[in-house]
Structure 1
Amino acid sequence: MNNLLEFALRAAGGMERYNAFSSVSARLHHSGVLWALKQREGVLTDATVTADLKKQVVSHTPFLPSGDHSLFTPGRVALLNAEGAVTETLDEPRASFAGFELNTPWSNTQLAYFAGYTMSTYLRLPFVLAGDGIVTEEIEPWHVDGQPWRRLRATFPDTFATHSKVQTFYFDADGLCRRHDYEVEIQGNNAAARYISDYVAVQGLMMPTRLRIFPRTEDNTSVAEPLIVGVDLSDFRFT
């Protein structure tokens, strides 16, 4: 494990504290242009998300206008009703996005796949970067308002469902993750920068409550419009 990752893990509360829990849940509110582009506006605007902390298993509820909830794993996504009966499934979901672009509509199970893999990473940062098969290296810093943000480049294994195989994470002087760059492979490899802020302490761990995702340009800067996705998180609970 490199020094920057160790620094980030300590800043977020420490691996020992993180390993004391098995899951995290939060209330989320979505905004941004993505949902209308995907013809899924309102489906997950306000929901509860629960993520397993040890493996990629995530649930969102409700899936409006139904009362269904999702169950995401990298190899299969299902929607289930209140009684636990499966109403819809999608096996090998990654393959279903072949040829998709930013404005290609999604089905509900494809939405569940995207929402599942994103929150599996977002809610577990930076601890997820210490997982098996994920290779990290520190690269040159990026300066913001004259201050250096240290950068960690992560290469994910093929078995890990995420935006792209190679991603970059930016950490401030306190060791908190402030920016996250990637390409969204399932919608034409569009480049994005996710800004992370408004951290709160939750049961000994630091969690961000505000996520804002913008297009990223070739010179590694982001543009202020459009807001692709906004995520506001609250009511965290670790168990």
Structure 2
Amino acid sequence: MTNLLDLILEAHGGLQRWREATTIRAHGSMGGLLWTLRGQQGILATADMTVEVQQQRMVYEGFTGPGLRGVFTPDRVAIERRDGEVVAERPSPRDAFAGHGPQTPWDELHVLYFAGYAMWNYLTAPYLLTRPGVVVAELEPWEEPGETLRRLRATFPDAIATHAREQTFYYDAAGLLRRHDYAAEVLGGTPAAHLCEKHETTSGLVFPTHRYVLPIQEDAQVLLEPVLVTIDLTEISIA
């Protein structure tokens, strides 16, 4: 691990605490232009999430209706009843985005795959960066008005469902995540900046609880609009 990654892990609770965690539960809300463009406005206005920390799996309770849940894994997404009866499912869900344009409508299973892998990545970071096959390297610092952010480039293996193989994370002097740049492949590869605020500590782990995604220019400068995605998290608990 790099010295920067050591600092980051310690700032977010420490590697040992992350290794001990099995699930992260959070209540939240997601908004932004993306859902409207895909014909799914409001689908995650209320989101109850359970993330499995040590494997890539997460569940959205109440997904699309009372008594239902959305289950994400990299190889399959499914909407189920609480007794496990399958209402709808899709194997190889990433393949279902092939040929999509910027405003191609999504169905509920598209949403489940995108929001499933995205929130699993967000809620398990920075522990995510220690997983087998992930390669990290520190880049030159990034200058913001009145502040210098350290940057870490991460290259992900195919085994992890994520936005893109290469992503850049920005951290403040305390080692807290402030920005995360990627070009989501399932959205056509347009670069965006995912900004992180309001860090809170829960059971020893630290999470940004207010997040929003904005487009960026070729020089990586952030544009102020449109707001593509918003994420607000509350009631986080760890088991």
Q: Which band: TM-score by shorter chain?
A: over 0.9
* In 2, Cα distance between equivalents of 1:12 and 1:97: 33
* In 1, Cα distance between equivalents of 2:232 and 2:147: 26
1:101 positional shift: 2.1
Structure 1 match to 2:175? 175
Deviations along 1:122-169, one digit per CA (max 9) or x if unpaired, are 001111101110000000010111321000000000111000000000
* In 2, Cα distance between equivalents of 1:187 and 1:11: 31
Structure 2 match to 1:126? 126
Unmatched 5+ residue regions in structure 2?
Answer: none
Number of aligned positions between the proteins: 239
User: Superposed, which structure 2 residues align to 1:1-239 within 5 Å?
Assistant: 1-65=1-65, 67-239=67-239
Q: Percent identity?
A: 40
Q: Which amino acid aligns with 2:91?
A: D
Q: Indicate the SS of the match to 1:122.
A: helix
1:66 positional shift: 5.0
Q: Which amino acid aligns with 1:225?
A: E
Query: Which shifted more, 70-79 or 94-103?
Result: 94-103
Deviations along 1:59-94, one digit per CA (max 9) or x if unpaired, are 112123454211111011111013221100111011
Q: Indicate the SS of the match to 2:124.
A: coil
Q: How does the TM-score come out when normalised to structure 2? A: 0.97
* In 1, Cα distance between equivalents of 2:16 and 2:180: 24
- Judge conservation of contact 1:104–1:187 (CA < 8 Å) in 2: no
Q: Indicate the SS of the match to 2:158.
A: coil
Q: Which amino acid aligns with 2:181?
A: D
Deviations along 1:37-59, one digit per CA (max 9) or x if unpaired, are 11111221111011110111011
Q: Indicate the SS of the match to 2:230.
A: strand
Q: Which amino acid aligns with 2:200?
A: V
1:180 positional shift: 0.1
Q: Which amino acid aligns with 1:173?
A: A
Q: CA RMSD in A?
A: 1.0
* In 2, Cα distance between equivalents of 1:102 and 1:122: 23
